């Protein structure tokens, strides 16, 4: 059988990085083909080439035997390729209907809303999706937003559907439903490119797996010829992966107590509602939940970026609800690679300057109102050594560092303040395995020294591995607190979708 | 008295309305244009010169449209294709417009033409008070009102309008749906600039039928502020433009009646009022979901790594 | 197929030469436009450069014009560091001039005390005028570009009101001017030229601003806010206060420009003391990038064009506003050259 879509030695460079280095990929009709690889292996870049967003430096895309050059996404759409991006391509202030219309090509200049709505409703009904067409996107849950993206592709009648890490934002139950849906599409003869780095999902879905490493395709395997170990071995590079171990520990004293916290919401985000929890000294408290259910607000309130509307935060009897006083007790790390400006760094400034972001007023770094450059550089040298940060030439803007190294800069800065509590918001999102394990090790080491961590993550595996307790959030409330040793993914999944356990 | 004031209000509001509508179209596509002031001047001078030489007001208006469009194309090219800074580019456009019109306008200073006449609308203009004030204007006034409706229909009922709005909100989403983002943005800048030019031509062909250097006197900036007041909505732009026309009319009226207030103090009024209105408009924006196009002022680079 | 690729590091060679190339291209384009308008560009340019650089008088005049540009350019540039657009330096300059004139005419101070008083009043009035926009930006998130711009018109009208009304010189033959300041409170001049100590003051402020932004804790705060307000907030920097503070400083610098204009050049308050310096300041700040020294250099270049442009008014009966065209064109070319600094062109054959 001939592949319907063939990617042949595609190369794509970005300033300073060779993101794709001769990647080959064959997609056959009616299969689910998984693209497996670490973060930074080039999966999304490759798909953006296929999607017409990036034009490759060299290499070919062959569809049904004839070569194609995609000048823009339009050409890719014409060729029958559709993609659900990791960050949805939706216009948030527009309604579901308008977003779907945007994707449909053959509508008249002044269109009849009624007829089109009927057509869309038919599809929605066929797949049993519940969505109000007149609702603006920002009011939908992330799971629903993903359905809108899928509906867009279905209306376009794509032959090849690309899904870039679609389960990252779903509860386990929603993910199951998505998988059933994908299998249904496969049985209708559609080809699906599924991108993931989660072994369990790959094993469940894939007919064929292509493994990507550092911008080139390492191996193509058919179902039956792979298992989790083989895949993991192929995916992870030879780089050192830090190892750590979780020790048994008992917790007696409470280091931080949060009582009846309320906070206002940001756009598209949930607020905090009556949020109460105690953090024990030296424990890692996991916070699970689908992104956008108030986790970011929680992190912002705890780290002093935002003031709560009501409620109290105390540590050892002292009230630290006031933002300024919180900073000396709580440090925060966050890494949101798609938005480097989120909270951790000043991207255009040097590593030296970023390392003193929270302590620039410290006597050590100043002479009256002048900055003490010597001390600042000295501090940077120490931290760079201690955390093995690869910085490039002196004065390089932090923005040009790799994701893992940016995260190290943030960690170095935050830990140098010797906080009693660390708030980690998606600390490993988008990092390669080596860097992610490094972050885990840092958190574990801190636990050994009786520092407490609030670990906010969407990755259940990460939470189950690290946490001593897991609290689940839904729409700004805690729906349950579970013990990672006793709970199941299903149980957490139910809590994530707002249901309470019996 | 009311009749005269109302008439003057509409007359003073119309150039603002054209310019504001133009700015709305551009900003809806995600491009800020601080060059409206310069575009109005280009429109005013071109309109006047062409009308003077050809004796055709219609040709004057058309020429104003295309000349401003050409000037706006510089801004469009820099912002859309070269992804330059929109604020600096817009300011340059204004400087350029002031400079080039002063150079070419030397020979036009002191000339006069017969400007647009009133064209009463049959029947409606017979209504007491309102008839003469509202339904007895020049054709450009009627055209501007028709434009308000057309732009509204275009934005919310047509496919191109949907595409344009999407481009301004989330260009990547539009792009991946097969919409040519750059083309939409560039076209929006062209059309919007042309409309600003008609606003300028209204000044030199209908409001005062002659050309003086720098005759737009900050109206372009007021138009940019009005866009925020109008919440990027053409029908609200109508209200905004006439509100300012009203202030201007009252101010001129007071000068004409010879109050003891210095004319210089009265001249401040429209600007002060704009700032006050801007404050309230912005405060209102903060509360609800904002109608400001999400990608306003942000150049779109398809290959930008997100 | 021609493609544009992003450079990893910007091209140093391009970055250094771009401003000069842009000015040259702007002059060429302007020349073509002049030809079209029936003006001989060669004659115009010869006149311009002869007038601004061809004599000691010309050079001093150029430095006289550079002075307010340095002040306002520094002001706009310091706000730029925080990603705030102060387009209102013109109005702030006028307010500074009003403040200084009030002290000179009505405070009763004399001699050195009056000079200090004028300086402080100018800085304060300019700063206060700009802080209005700063306050609105910080507290209500009102667009500072529009507010500062509109306030230019208000400030200019305010000067007109004063010189036509309450401050008019009764012995001034009904001209809209105030009384002349007493000579002992004027800035001292360089020989018989109009060049005055204001220029030295400007150079001193370049150095002070450099230290302030690059070496102090406050400068660090400004840079962090400009780079990432969220990070600044996280670092515990009071953003709102800094915005208002920086706007005050920015306006104060423009106000000082107003002081130097009335106390060093005009000797009285009158309309049109600023020839759009506040707008030219934006070019100065943009061209100078992050460098305070750059402000000094670019200001002088811009002053050459301004003085030259002025001379054309007499030489060739061209309107003063005509130099705006140069400025607009220079900026256009600078923006275009930015693209080539950050992207390289590669021409290659694409897949068959």
Q: Please give the DSSP secondary-structure letter assigned to residue C270.
A: B
Grade residue A363 by pLDDT with cuts at 50, 70 and 90: confident
| β partners of residue A196 | A36
Residue A114, chain B, CB below 8 Å: the answer is: no
What does the mean pLDDT of chain C come to?
Answer: 89
Give the mean model confidence (pLDDT) for residues B263-285: 88
Nearest CA in chain B to C286: B88
User: What is the phi/psi pair of residue A420, to 5°?
Assistant: -90, -20
Per residue in B124-140, pLDDT tens?
Answer: 888 887 888 888 889 99
What residues contact residue A128 under an 8 Å CB cut-off, 6+ apart?
none
Say whether B159 and A111 touch across the interface (CB within 8 A). yes
> Which residues in chain A are closer than 8 Å to C220, comparing Cβ atoms?
353, 360, 371
Give the mean model confidence (pLDDT) for residues A52-72: 90
pLDDT of the residue at A198: 82
Question: How many distinct helices (H) and strands (E) make up chain C?
Answer: 13, 2
Using a pLDDT cut of 70, give the percent of chain B over it: 98
Which candidate from A15, A332, A346 shows the least CB-CB separation from C224?
A: A346
CA distance C45 to C47: 5
Per residue in C66-87, pLDDT tens?
Answer: 999 999 999 999 999 999 999 9
Say whether B99 and C326 touch across the interface (CB within 8 A). yes
C65 three-state secondary structure: helix
A404 vs C274, higher pLDDT: C274
Does C231 score more than 80 pLDDT? yes
Residue B297 inside a domain? The answer is: no
Strand order in the sheet with A452-456: A330-334, A421-425, A452-456, A284-288, A469-474, A477-482
| β partners of residue C196 | C189
Give the mean model confidence (pLDDT) for residues C317-343: 87
Please answer whether residues A3 and A164 qualify as being in contact, where contact means their C-beta atoms are separated by less than 8 angstroms: no
Residue B46 inside a domain? The answer is: yes
> Which residues in chain A are closer than 8 Å to C7, comparing Cβ atoms?
15
Nearest of B206, B222, B214, B217 to residue B47 by alpha carbon:
B206
- Tokens read off for B258: 């010879």
Say whether B225 and C161 touch across the interface (CB within 8 A). no
Please answer whether residues B300 and B172 qualify as being in contact, where contact means their C-beta atoms are separated by less than 8 angstroms: yes
CA distance A465 to A458: 13
Q: Which of A94-98, A253-257, B172-176 has the lowest mean pLDDT?
A: A253-257
Per residue in C271-312, pLDDT tens?
Answer: 989 988 999 999 899 888 878 889 999 999 999 989 988 888
What residues contact residue B284 under an 8 Å CB cut-off, 6+ apart?
none
Rounded to 5°, the CA angle A307-A312-A313 comes to 85
Give the mean model confidence (pLDDT) for residues A458-467: 91
CA distance B204 to B223: 17
> Which residues in chain B are closer than 8 Å to C329, comparing Cβ atoms?
92, 96
Please answer whether residues C68 and C47 qualify as being in contact, where contact means their C-beta atoms are separated by less than 8 angstroms: no
Residue B305 inside a domain? The answer is: no
Q: Which of A140-144, A341-345, C262-266, C312-316 has the lowest mean pLDDT?
A: A341-345
Say whether A138 and B289 touch across the interface (CB within 8 A). yes
- Tokens read off for A460: 């259940």
**Euclidean distance between the first and the last CA atom of chain B, given in angstroms as a whole number:** 60
Q: What is the CA radius of gyration of chain B?
A: 19
pLDDT of the residue at C204: 96
Residue A357, chain C, CB below 8 Å: the answer is: yes
Using a pLDDT cut of 90, give the percent of chain B over it: 66
Give the mean model confidence (pLDDT) for residues A40-60: 89
Angle subtended by helix axes B36-54 and B181-202, to nearest 10: 60
Grade residue C350 by pLDDT with cuts at 50, 70 and 90: very low
Say whether B78 and C142 touch across the interface (CB within 8 A). no
Residue A353, chain C, CB below 8 Å: the answer is: yes
A337 vs A148, higher pLDDT: A148
Does C63 score more than 90 pLDDT? yes
Nearest of B233, B222, B239, B235 to residue B278 by alpha carbon:
B222
CB atoms under 10 Å from CB of B126, counted, come to 12
A41 vs B172, higher pLDDT: B172
Interface mutation target, options C217, C223, C245, chain A, most CBs of A under 10 Å? C217
pLDDT of the residue at A303: 82
What does the mean pLDDT of chain A come to?
Answer: 86
Grade residue A18 by pLDDT with cuts at 50, 70 and 90: confident
Grade residue A294 by pLDDT with cuts at 50, 70 and 90: confident
Please give the distance of CA C237 from its chain centroid, rounded to a whole number: 29
Does A41 score more than 70 pLDDT? yes
Please give the distance of CA B41 from its chain centroid, rounded to a whole number: 11
B281 three-state secondary structure: helix
> Which residues in chain C are closer than 8 Å to A54, comparing Cβ atoms?
none
Enumerate domains of chain A plus CATH numbers. Answer: 5-235 (3.40.50.300), 255-496 (3.40.50.300)
- Give me the number of domains chain B comprises: 1
Nearest of B11, B13, B80 to residue B223 by alpha carbon:
B13
CA distance C78 to C216: 14
> Which residues in chain B are closer than 8 Å to C141, comparing Cβ atoms?
282, 286
Phi-psi region of C350 (alpha: psi -120 to 50; beta: other; left: phi over 0): beta
CA distance B38 to B44: 10
CA distance C15 to A488: 59
CA distance C181 to C178: 9
| β partners of residue B158 | A110
Per residue in A152-206, pLDDT tens?
Answer: 988 888 899 999 989 888 888 889 999 999 999 999 999 999 998 888 888 889 9
Please answer whether residues A33 and A192 qualify as being in contact, where contact means their C-beta atoms are separated by less than 8 angstroms: yes
Q: Kindly report each contact of residues B52-58 with a partner whose C-beta sits within 8 Å and lies 24 or more positions away, as own/partner.
A: B52/B108, B52/B111, B52/B113, B57/B115, B57/B116, B57/B205
Strand order in the sheet with A17-27: A17-27, A5-14, A58-63, A66-68
Grade residue B289 by pLDDT with cuts at 50, 70 and 90: low
CB atoms under 10 Å from CB of C2, counted, come to 7
Does A304 score more than 70 pLDDT? yes
**Domain range for B61:** 2-287
Q: What is the model's pTM?
A: 0.91
Residue recorded with tokens 């946490």: A467
CA distance B155 to B132: 32
Dihedral angle of Cα A202, A204, A210, A212, to the nearest 10 degrees: 10
In this complex, the chains that touch B, judged by 3 or more CB pairs closer than 8 A, are: A, C
Per residue in C176-221, pLDDT tens?
Answer: 999 999 988 888 888 788 888 899 999 999 999 999 999 999 999 9
| β partners of residue B111 | none
Per residue in B191-243, pLDDT tens?
Answer: 999 999 999 999 999 998 899 998 998 899 999 999 998 999 999 999 999 99
Give the mean model confidence (pLDDT) for residues B272-299: 83
Say whether B264 and C165 touch across the interface (CB within 8 A). yes
pLDDT of the residue at C351: 40
Per residue in B140-195, pLDDT tens?
Answer: 999 999 999 999 999 998 889 999 999 999 999 999 999 999 999 999 999 999 99
CATH of the domain at B97: 1.10.3470
- Tokens read off for A326: 């919180």
CA distance A296 to A299: 5
CA distance C259 to C104: 10
Give the mean model confidence (pLDDT) for residues C258-264: 94
- The half-sphere exposure of A41 on its side-chain side, counting CA atoms within 13 A, is 24
ipTM score for this prediction: 0.90
Per residue in A423-443, pLDDT tens?
Answer: 888 888 878 888 888 889 989
CA distance C324 to A388: 54
């Amino acid at each position: 059988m001939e592949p319907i879509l063939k990617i042949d030695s595609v190369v794509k460079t970005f300033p300073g990085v060779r993101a794709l280095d001769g990647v080959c990929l064959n997609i056959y009709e009616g299969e689910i083909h998984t693209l497996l690889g670490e973060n930074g292996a080039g999966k999304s870049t490759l798909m953006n080439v296929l999607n017409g967003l990036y034009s490759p430096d060299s290499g070919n895309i062959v569809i049904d035997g004839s070569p194609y050059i995609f000048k823009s996404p339009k050409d890719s759409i014409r060729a029958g390729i559709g993609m659900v991006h990791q960050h949805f391509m939706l216009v948030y202030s527009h309604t579901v209907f308008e977003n779907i219309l945007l994707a449909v090509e053959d509508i008249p200049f002044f269109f009849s809303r009624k007829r089109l709505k009927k057509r869309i409703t038919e599809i929605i009904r066929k797949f049993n999706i519940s969505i109000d067409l007149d609702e603006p996107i920002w009011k939908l849950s992330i799971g629903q937003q993903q359905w809108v993206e899928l509906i867009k592709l279905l209306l376009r009648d794509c032959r090849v559907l690309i899904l870039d890490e679609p389960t990252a934002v779903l509860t386990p139950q929603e993910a199951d439903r998505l998988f059933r849906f994908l299998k249904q599409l496969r049985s209708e003869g559609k080809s699906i490119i599924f991108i993931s780095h989660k072994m369990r999902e790959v094993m469940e879905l894939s007919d064929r797996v292509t493994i990507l490493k550092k911008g080139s395709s390492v191996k193509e395997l058919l179902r039956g010829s792979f298992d989790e170990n083989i895949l993991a071995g192929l995916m992870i590079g030879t780089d050192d992966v830090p190892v750590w171990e979780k020790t048994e520990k008992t917790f007696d004293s409470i280091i931080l107590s949060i009582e009846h916290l309320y906070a206002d919401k940001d756009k598209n985000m949930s607020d905090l509602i009556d949020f109460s929890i105690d953090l024990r000294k030296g424990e890692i408290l996991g916070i699970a939940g689908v992104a956008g259910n108030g986790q970011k607000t929680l992190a912002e309130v705890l780290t002093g970026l935002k003031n709560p509307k009501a409620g109290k935060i105390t540590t050892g009897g002292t009230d630290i609800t006031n933002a300024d006083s919180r900073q000396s007790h709580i440090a925060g790390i966050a890494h949101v690679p798609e938005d480097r400006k989120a909270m951790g760094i000043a991207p255009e400034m040097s590593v030296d300057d970023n390392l003193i972001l929270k302590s620039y007023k410290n006597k050590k770094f100043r002479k009256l109102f002048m900055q003490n450059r010597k001390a600042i550089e000295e501090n940077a040298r120490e931290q760079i050594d201690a955390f093995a940060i690869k910085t490039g030439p002196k004065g390089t803007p932090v923005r040009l560092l790799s994701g893992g190294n940016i995260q190290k800069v943030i960690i170095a800065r935050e830990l140098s303040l010797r906080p009693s509590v660390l708030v980690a918001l998606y600390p490993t999102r988008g990092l390669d395995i080596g860097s992610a394990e490094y972050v885990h090790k840092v958190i574990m080491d801190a636990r050994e020294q009786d520092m407490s961590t609030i670990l906010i993550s969407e990755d259940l595996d990460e939470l189950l591995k690290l946490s001593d307790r897991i609290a689940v959030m839904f729409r700004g409330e805690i729906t349950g607190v579970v013990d990672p040793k006793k709970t199941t993914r299903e149980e957490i999944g139910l809590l994530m979708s707002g249901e309470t356990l019996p | 008295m009311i009749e005269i004031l109302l008439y003057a209000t509409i007359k003073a509001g119309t150039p603002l309305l054209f310019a504001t509508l133009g700015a709305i179209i551009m900003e809806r596509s995600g491009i800020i244009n601080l060059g409206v002031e310069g575009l109005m001047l280009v429109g005013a001078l071109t309109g006047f010169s062409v009308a003077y030489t050809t004796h055709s007001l219609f040709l004057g208006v058309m020429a104003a449209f295309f000349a401003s469009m050409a000037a706006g194309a510089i801004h469009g090219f820099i912002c859309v294709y070269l992804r330059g800074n929109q604020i600096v580019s817009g300011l340059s456009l204004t400087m350029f417009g002031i400079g080039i019109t002063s150079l070419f306008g030397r020979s036009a200073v002191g000339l006069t033409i017969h400007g647009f006449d009133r064209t009463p609308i049959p029947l409606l203009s017979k209504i007491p008070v309102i008839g003469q004030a509202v339904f007895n204007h020049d054709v450009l006034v009627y055209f501007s009102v028709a434009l308000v409706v057309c732009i509204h229909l275009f934005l919310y009922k047509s496919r191109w309008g949907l595409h344009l709005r999407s481009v301004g909100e989330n260009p990547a989403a539009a792009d991946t749906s097969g919409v040519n983002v750059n083309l939409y943005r560039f076209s929006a800048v062209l059309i919007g600039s042309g409309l600003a030019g008609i606003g300028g031509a209204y000044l030199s062909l209908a409001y005062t039928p002659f050309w003086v250097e720098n005759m737009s006197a900050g109206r372009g900036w007021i138009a940019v502020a009005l866009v925020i007041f109008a919440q990027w909505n053409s029908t609200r732009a109508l209200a905004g433009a006439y509100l300012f026309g009203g202030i201007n009319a009252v101010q001129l009226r007071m000068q004409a009646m010879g109050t003891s207030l210095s004319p210089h103090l009265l001249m401040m009024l429209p600007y002060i009022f704009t700032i006050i209105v801007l404050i309230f408009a912005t405060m209102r924006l903060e509360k609800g979901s904002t109608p400001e196009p999400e990608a306003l002022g942000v150049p779109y680079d398809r290959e930008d790594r997100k | 197929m021609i493609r544009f690729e992003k450079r990893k590091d910007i091209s140093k060679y391009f970055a250094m030469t771009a401003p000069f190339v842009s000015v040259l291209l702007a002059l060429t384009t302007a020349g073509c436009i002049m030809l079209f308008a029936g003006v001989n560009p060669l004659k115009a340019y010869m006149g311009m450069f002869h007038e601004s650089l061809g004599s000691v008088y010309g050079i001093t005049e150029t430095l006289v014009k550079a002075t307010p540009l340095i002040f306002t350019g520094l002001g706009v540039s310091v706000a730029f560091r925080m990603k705030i657009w102060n387009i209102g330096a013109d109005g702030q300059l006028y307010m500074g001039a009003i403040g200084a004139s009030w002290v000179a005419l009505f405070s009763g101070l004399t001699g050195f005390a009056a000079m200090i008083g004028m300086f402080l009043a100018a800085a304060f009035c300019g700063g206060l005028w700009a802080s209005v926009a700063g306050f609105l930006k910080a507290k209500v998130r009102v667009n500072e570009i529009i507010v500062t711009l509109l306030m230019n018109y208000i400030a200019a009208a305010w000067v007109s009101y004063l010189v036509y009304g309450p401050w008019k010189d009764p012995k001034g033959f009904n001209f809209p001017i105030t009384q002349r300041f007493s000579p002992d409170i004027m800035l001292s001049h360089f020989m018989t030229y109009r060049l005055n100590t204001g220029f030295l003051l400007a150079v001193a402020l370049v150095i002070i601003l450099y230290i302030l932004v690059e070496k102090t804790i406050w400068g660090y705060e400004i840079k962090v806010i400009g780079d990432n307000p969220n990070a600044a907030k996280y670092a515990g920097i009071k953003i709102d206060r800094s915005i208002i503070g920086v706007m005050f400083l920015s306006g104060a610098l423009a106000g000082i420009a107003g002081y130097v204009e009335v106390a060093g050049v005009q000797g009285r308050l009158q309309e049109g003391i600023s020839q759009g310096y506040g707008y030219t300041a934006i070019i100065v700040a943009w061209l100078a990038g992050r460098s305070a020294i750059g402000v000094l250099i670019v200001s002088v270049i811009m002053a050459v064009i301004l003085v030259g442009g002025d001379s054309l008014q007499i030489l060739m009966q061209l309107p003063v506003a005509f130099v705006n065209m140069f400025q607009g064109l220079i900026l256009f070319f600078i923006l275009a050259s930015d693209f080539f600094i950050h992207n390289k062109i590669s021409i290659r054959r694409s897949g068959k």
